Structure 1
Amino acid sequence: MLAIVCPGQGAQKPGFLNPWRELPGAEEALAAMSAPAGIDLLRHGTESDADTIRDTAVAQPLLVAVGIIAASSLYQDQDLPAPEAFAGHSVGELTAAALGGVLSNEDAMRLVAVRSQAMAKAAAAEPTSMAAVVGGTREDVLATIERHGLHAANLNSAAQVVAAGSAEQIAALAEDGPVKARVIPLPVAGAFHTPYMAGAREELAAFAPSLSPQDPTVPLISNAGGEVISSGARYLELIVDQVASPVDWEACMAALRRRGVTAMIEVAPAGTLTGLAKRELKGIALMNLNTPDDLDAARTLVREHAGITAAPTAQEN
């Protein structure tokens, strides 16, 4: 079984769109998505520096657009079997929704534009931040996060939880963290996926009725506890709640394991989710689709694993 996964904010790097712009039709597709996104995707993905693309209102549309370009290139003019699941981390769920037929590319870009701007506005209301807590026991990590008045915003794996809250609380956690755990402050200016994003959730809820979601052509694995989504309406309900609710990527991986995943391709900018899978989904084949040079190997992997439930041969990138 093949799953295609889509990374979230923080995976972007300056110039990471450059290799994809050379493909036939890529610049035209980016221009078409730039209009509903409200930003110049080509310029930001090829010329803008790290600080510029760290901005939530830039990073999120850029990630969705590049993920769409990469996955579309994988299947374009190819007689390939479809994957058997899509999943995305945080804003990557919007990429997955476009790839899975829930949203048109235009609606996905309209939604990410509203989402990113609303989240940026909510983040600017007061100084908040996030920190990764790596190691320790889950019970102690969650108890320490709660003791500092913080929220567990991302449950990324058995060994990694992301805490979010006020900048002061994050600093206190860094000084007094869980036993046998490292606290790594993240370069973000917002407590995403927590009640601090309540205003953003309200904006998304008001915008959602303008969208026309379809039922997915391939099951979507949701950040909401790994729920398998087969309804476009249900997807939209969860994606509105997601901005102010925890991202449970650990549950997504568990859902993929239960469904018998044998291979995973992460679309550009890839590496974060396959890195987590390498530790949590041992033995599956992993592929990072970062540039067009990776397309042939990714297509080979699709053919080998789509619809196959037997154990794969070792292949990890």
Structure 2
Amino acid sequence: MLAIVCPGQGAQKPGFLSPWRELPGVEQTVASLSEAAGVDLLRHGTESDADTLRDTAVAQPLLVAAGIVAAAQLNADESLPGADVIAGHSVGELTAAALAGVLSDEDAMRLVAVRSQAMATAAAAEPTGMAAVVGGSRDEVLAVIERHGLHPANINSAAQIVAAGSLDAIAALREDGPAKARVIPLQVAGAFHTPFMAGAREELTAFTPSLSPTDPTVPLVSNASGEVVTEGSRYLDLIVTQVASPVDWEACMATLRDRGVTAMIEVAPAGTLTGLAKRDLKGIALADLNTPDDLDAARALVREHAGIAPTADQEN
């Protein structure tokens, strides 16, 4: 059983879209996605530096577009079966919605444009940030985060929780963190997935009635406690709430485990979610789809876990 997963903000790297633009039709696809988002995604994905890509209003549309492009190239081989389940981390859940057929590519880009701008505006209202807490006892980590007046914004795994809140509180957490844990500041522009994003949630609430969601054609796992979404309208409710609520990726991985997933492919820019899976989903096969050079291995993984024998040409 195959899962396709889509990374969240922070996974972007300068130039990561460059290898994909060499493939036929990709520049035209990116141009169309750029028009829907109102952002020059080809320029940012091939030329912009790391500081520019940290801008929430740039990073989020770029990540969604890159995931759509990579997945489309993977599925260009019509002999391949589709994924059995799809999930995305934070903004990656918008990519996942497009891949699962809940949103058209255009609507996914329209939504991420509004989401990213709204979150950037909310983040600019006061100095806030995020820090990963790696290791330590889960209960103690959560207690120390609360003691410092911070919020658990991302529950990424049993050994990694991301705290978010004021910069002063983040600094205090670094000085007085949980036992046997490392506190690592993240290069993000605000306290995402916390009450600091309430204004962004209001903007999304006003925007989503303009969208036309459909029910997913593939099971779609939500960041909200790993719920499997079966209705498009339910997805919109959850994605609006998500901007100001914690991302529970640990619960998403538990759902993938419970559904019997045996292989996972992470679309570009890949590596973050397969890295978490190495620790929490031990034994499953993993593939990172970062460049077109990774397509053959990813397709072979799809065939293997669908029980399809390779042809002579594929073996060679």
| Structures share fold, TM-score greater than 0.5 | yes
Amino acid in the other structure paired with 1:294: D
- Contact kept, 8 Å, 1:2 with 1:307, in 2: the verdict is no
Map of 1:253 onto structure 2? 253
Map of 2:238 onto structure 1? 238
Map of 2:49 onto structure 1? 49
Secondary structure of 2:102's match? coil
Structure 1 unaligned spans of 5+: 309-317
Q: Does 1:301 align with 2:309?
A: no
Amino acid in the other structure paired with 1:192: F
Give me the CA root mean square deviation: 0.8
Greater shift, 275-284 or 72-81, is seen at 72-81
Map of 2:267 onto structure 1? 267
- Contact kept, 8 Å, 1:84 with 1:306, in 2: the verdict is no
Q: Does 1:25 align with 2:25?
A: yes
For residues 140 and 272 of structure 1, the distance between their equivalents in structure 2, rounded to whole angstroms, comes to: 25
Encode CA deviations 1:196-243: one digit per residue, 9 max, x unaligned. 000000000000000000000000011000000111000010000000
Encode CA deviations 1:133-174: one digit per residue, 9 max, x unaligned. 000000000000000000000000000000000000000000
Map of 2:229 onto structure 1? 229
Deviation at 1:306, TM superposition (A): 3.2
Q: Does 1:80 align with 2:80?
A: yes
Deviation at 1:300, TM superposition (A): 0.8
Q: TM-score, normalised by structure 1?
A: 0.96
Deviation at 1:303, TM superposition (A): 1.0
- Contact kept, 8 Å, 1:83 with 1:306, in 2: the verdict is no
Map of 2:314 onto structure 1? none
Map of 2:67 onto structure 1? 67
- Over 6 Å off, 4+ runs: none
Aligned residues: 308
For residues 251 and 190 of structure 1, the distance between their equivalents in structure 2, rounded to whole angstroms, comes to: 24
For residues 108 and 243 of structure 1, the distance between their equivalents in structure 2, rounded to whole angstroms, comes to: 15
For residues 291 and 77 of structure 1, the distance between their equivalents in structure 2, rounded to whole angstroms, comes to: 16
Map of 2:90 onto structure 1? 90
For residues 44 and 155 of structure 2, the distance between their equivalents in structure 1, rounded to whole angstroms, comes to: 30
Amino acid in the other structure paired with 2:6: C
- Contact kept, 8 Å, 1:122 with 1:199, in 2: the verdict is yes
Map of 1:209 onto structure 2? 209
Q: TM-score, normalised by structure 2?
A: 0.97
In structure 2, relative to structure 1, the CA distance for the partners of 1:142 and 1:174 (3 Å cut) is same
Map of 1:129 onto structure 2? 129
Secondary structure of 1:214's match? coil
Deviation at 1:77, TM superposition (A): 3.8
For residues 73 and 33 of structure 1, the distance between their equivalents in structure 2, rounded to whole angstroms, comes to: 15
Secondary structure of 2:94's match? helix
Map of 2:187 onto structure 1? 187
- Contact kept, 8 Å, 2:88 with 2:96, in 1: the verdict is yes
- Contact kept, 8 Å, 1:140 with 1:178, in 2: the verdict is yes
Greater shift, 181-190 or 123-132, is seen at 181-190
Deviation at 1:79, TM superposition (A): 1.2
Encode CA deviations 1:68-118: one digit per residue, 9 max, x unaligned. 000000011421111100000000000000001000000000000000000
Map of 2:150 onto structure 1? 150
Secondary structure of 1:218's match? coil
In structure 2, relative to structure 1, the CA distance for the partners of 1:307 and 1:128 (3 Å cut) is farther
Map of 1:114 onto structure 2? 114
For residues 189 and 260 of structure 2, the distance between their equivalents in structure 1, rounded to whole angstroms, comes to: 38
For residues 2 and 210 of structure 2, the distance between their equivalents in structure 1, rounded to whole angstroms, comes to: 32
